[in-house]
Amino acid sequence: MFHGPGGGGWWSFVRADEDKQPHITQALLVRVAQYARPYIWQIAFALLAILASSILALIPPLLYRDLIDHVLPQKDFARLNLLALGMIAIPLVAGLIGVGQRWLIARVGEGLIADLRQALYAHMMRMSLRFFTHTKTGELMSRLNNDVVGAQRAVTNTLVSIITSAFELLAALAIMLSLDWRLTLLALVILPLFVLPSRRVGRILREIVNQQLDLNGKMNAQMNETLNVSGALLVKLFGRQPTEVQKFGAHAERVAAIGVRQAMVGRWFFLLLGLTSALGAALVWWVGGIFVLQGAFTVGTIVAFAAYLTQLYAPVSALVNARVDFATSMVSFERVFQMLDLPVEIQDRAHAIVLPRARGEIRFEHVEFSYLDPASDPAQPVSPKSKPNGNGHAPAETPAFIPTRRDALRDVDFEIRAGQLAALVGPSGAGKTTITYLLPRLYDPTAGRVLLDGIDLREVTLASLTEQVGMVTQETYLFHDTLRANLVYAKPDATPADIERAAHAANIHDFIMKLPHGYDTIVGERGYRLSGGEKQRVAIARVILKDPRVLILDEATSNLDSESEALIQAALKPLMRGRTSVVIAHRLSTILAADVILVVDEGRVVEQGTHAELLARGGVYARLYHTQYSER
C-alpha cells in the first residue's frame, strides 16, 4: 500500500524543539500588528475608553481627601451629598465605559482569531498530500484551536492590560508627585523588586507554555486517532481499549502536571508581588504617618496618597505580570506563524495557464520520483534552514530530521492516447498508485515531465487541472453528511435532475430511494452506514457528476460480493465511455478490455502493449497473468 512521499522534514514541524525560548523580535511584533490592522478603529476607540476609565479611577481618592479634610470637620451636609453622589456616579460611568471597551476588545479578539484560523486553514488546504501523510491530524487541530486561542489572548487580555496599566501608572504617578514628592520617591524605591523576579519567572513560564501546548497536541492526536470510526473499530478488534485508556491517562496526567506547575509558578510570583506591594505600603504609611504627626500635611492627604499607592503598585504588578503573559502568549503567535511559514510545495507558477477542455492525451517523459521516509531516522536532528516568508520576515525555525531517500519511480516513459483505457498492472508496491497521484498533481515528479495534451502539468493552474481530472480511490471517503451533500461536492451547482442521472448511471439511485430519507440520508462518519460496494457506487456517481476528461480509478473490487461487483462494473462502463481512463486493474475483464496495458515493476514501466502482445512476449506480464489473473 502506498503511504505517500515525505519531504524536507515537514512532517516534523509539530515535533519542533519546543524547549527553545521564543524570541520576541521586532519582525514578530510587526507581523502580529499586520493582523490587527483591519481593526485599527475599534482599537483606537478602545484605547480612548481605557484612557477615560483610567482618569475616572483617579477621582475617588481626591473625594476621600476632601471628605476627611473639609466636609467632616466643617459638617458640610450639602457637599457631603455631592460627594456621595459622585462616589456612585463615577463607578457607574466607569462601568458603562468598561462595557463598551469590552465589546470593542471582544470584536477585535474574535475577529483576530477568525482571521488567524482562516489563514491557517487555507494554508493547510494548500499543502501537498505528503504534508498530511506525515502529520498527525490531532496536532493540526491543536494548532487551529489551542495556539490560535493563545494568540487571541495576547491581544484581548495581555495587550489591553499593558495599555490600561500604563495609563493608570502614569496618571497615578503624576497625582502622587503633586501631593508629595518625597513619599512618591519612597514608593518608587521598591519598584526594582517588582521587575527583577519577572525575568526569571518569564523564562520559566515560556518553557512551561511550550511544553503545555506540545502535550495538548499529543493528547489531541490520540483522541483524533482513536475516537473516529476507523480508530475505534481497530481498537475494539484488537482489544486494546485498556492500553489506549492507559495511554490517554498518561497524556492527561502530564497535561495536568504541567498545568499544576504553571499555576504554582504563577502563585509564587503573585506572592512576591503582593509582599513587595505590602512593603511599599508599610513604608509610605510609616513615613506619611510621621509627616502627619509633624503637621507636614493632613490626614486626608495621607489617606488619598495611600489610595493612589494602590493605583501605583497594582498597575506595576499588572505590567510586570503582563510582560510575562505577553512573552508566553507570543509563543502561540510564533507557533501559528511557524505553520504559516511552511512552504507550499504544489502551487501555481507565476504565469500558469488555464487548461482548456482536454482531449485526454497523457504523456510521461522519463519521469522519476523519490520520497523521503520520515520514520527512517527521527532521532538525528540536522540544522534547520530558515527562509524568509512572503512578508520578508524570518519564520520560526523547525528542525528537520535525517531521512532515508527512497525511489518510487525510475525513468517512467509511456503515452496514453486520448480516449484510451490504460490498465496499470504489477505487484504490490511497484509504483502504480504513485503514477496515478502524479496526474492530478498530488505530487510533482523529481525529474522528467508529466504532460496532458502536450502541456506540462506544472505549467497549468491547479484549479483548471482539477476540473479535468476525476479520481475514484481505493478507500472511498464520504463526509458525515447527507448523500446529496456528498454527491454535489463534485459539482456544487448540480441540479436534482443532474444528481439523479449520475446516481442512475452508477446503479445507486434505486438503493438511495429505498432509504428512509432518500438523498437526504446521513451516511455517517466516513460513510460507515453504507457497505463497501454502496460507498464505491456513491463515489462513482460523484465522479460522473463531475464529468472529467481524464478518469483515474483504483479498481478495488476484491473485497466485494459478486452482486456489488457486478453493479460497480456496470456503473464503470458509462463512466469510462468517451474519457481517457487510467485504471489500477485488479480484474481480468478490465485488463482484457484495456487499449494499452502498462506493466509496472520496481518503479519502472517494464512492458506495455495489449493483452495478446504482452502474453506473447512471455515476460513479467505473462508471469503475472498466469499466477494472478488466469483463474479469475
The architecture of the domain spanning 409-629 is 3-Layer(aba) Sandwich (3.40)
Tell me how many degrees the CA angle 572-444-126 measures, rounded to the nearest 5: 85
Domain ranges of the chain: 23-340, 409-629
pLDDT, residue 477, reads 79
Confidence grade of residue 21 (pLDDT, cut at 50, 70, 90): very low
Does residue 572 have a pLDDT over 80? no
CA distances from 489 to 180, 478, 484, 524, 539 (A): 73, 10, 9, 16, 11
Does residue 390 have a pLDDT over 60? no
Confidence grade of residue 254 (pLDDT, cut at 50, 70, 90): confident
Region 574-588: mean pLDDT is 82
Q: Which of 363-372, 400-409, 438-447, 487-496 has the lowest mean pLDDT?
A: 400-409
CATH superfamily of 23-340: ABC transporter type 1, transmembrane domain (1.20.1560.10)
Confidence grade of residue 283 (pLDDT, cut at 50, 70, 90): confident
More confident residue, 83 or 562: 83
The three-class DSSP label of residue 381 is strand
pLDDT tens digit sequence for 290-332: 777 777 777 777 777 777 777 777 777 677 766 667 766 777 7
Q: Which of 71-85, 382-396, 608-622 has the lowest mean pLDDT?
A: 382-396
pLDDT, residue 604, reads 92
pLDDT, residue 600, reads 92
Range with the largest mean pLDDT of 220-224, 344-348, 411-415: 411-415
C-alpha cell at 6: 515525505
Does residue 414 have a pLDDT over 60? yes
Distance in angstroms (rounded) separating the CA atoms of residues 585 and 255 = 49
Does residue 355 have a pLDDT over 80? yes
For helices 192-226 and 241-293, angle between their N-to-C axes, nearest 10 degrees: 160
Fold match flag (23-340 vs 409-629): no
Cα 282 to chain centroid, rounded: 51
Region 120-149: mean pLDDT is 76
Among residues 324, 47, 263, 283, the alpha carbon closest in space to that of 166 is found at 47
Half-sphere exposure of 513 (CA within 13 A, CB side): 8
> Residue 242: left (phi > 0), alpha (psi -120 to 50), or beta?
alpha
pLDDT, residue 324, reads 65
pLDDT tens digit sequence for 502-528: 888 888 888 889 888 888 988 877 677
Confidence grade of residue 557 (pLDDT, cut at 50, 70, 90): low
Confidence grade of residue 5 (pLDDT, cut at 50, 70, 90): very low
Main-chain phi, psi angles of 451, to 5 degrees:
-120, 145
Q: Which of 261-275, 382-396, 614-628 has the lowest mean pLDDT?
A: 382-396
Region 341-366: mean pLDDT is 88
Does residue 589 have a pLDDT over 60? yes
Among residues 632, 542, 532, the alpha carbon closest in space to that of 587 is found at 632
Does residue 403 have a pLDDT over 70? no
Does residue 413 have a pLDDT over 90? yes
What are the b/e assignments for 594-620, b being 16+ CB within 10 Å? bebbbbbbebbbebbeebeebbeeeeb
More confident residue, 252 or 3: 252
